Structure 1
Amino acid sequence: MKVSARNSLKGKVKQITPGSVNAEIVIEIAPGVEVTSIITKSSCENLGLEVGKEVYAIVKATDVLIGVD
C-alpha cells in the first residue's frame, strides 16, 4: 500500500459501532492508545472490517494545533 499522507498509524480494529449510514471504528495502535474514525457503512463493508483485523489509520491534515492550560 502506498499513500501520500505522512501520518500512517498501524493498529488493530478494537470496536465497530455500525449506524444506519456511518460506522465508528476504534483502532488500537498501542496498548491503551486508540484512534477513532467515522467512515461510511459501505466503506466499512467494502474494506471487510472486523474486530481484530490489522488496519492503518491514515491522517491527512494541513495543520496540527497545539493547546495548553
Structure 2
Amino acid sequence: MRKGIIDRFEGDFAVVEFNGQTEDLLKSDLPEDAKAGDTLIFEDGNVIIDKEGTASRKKEINELMDKLFED
C-alpha cells in the first residue's frame, strides 16, 4: 500500500506527492471526484480517496492556520 496527496492538476495529469517526492499521474487513473488536497491510497492496482486521511489533514492545517493568525 502506498499513500499520496494530490498537490495540483496540470492538464491531463495530477501531481501527487509521495513522501516529499512528486509524481505525475494521469487524471484518468484516479477517482473521478478526486481533487487537490485529497489523500489517496494506492493498493493492488486500485486507487481510492482516503476520506478520513483527507479530513484529518484539513483539520490539522486549519488548526495551524488558526494559531498562525491569532490576534
Q: TM-score scaled by structure 1?
A: 0.47
Instruction: Flag the structure with higher strand content.
Output: 1
More helix by share: 2
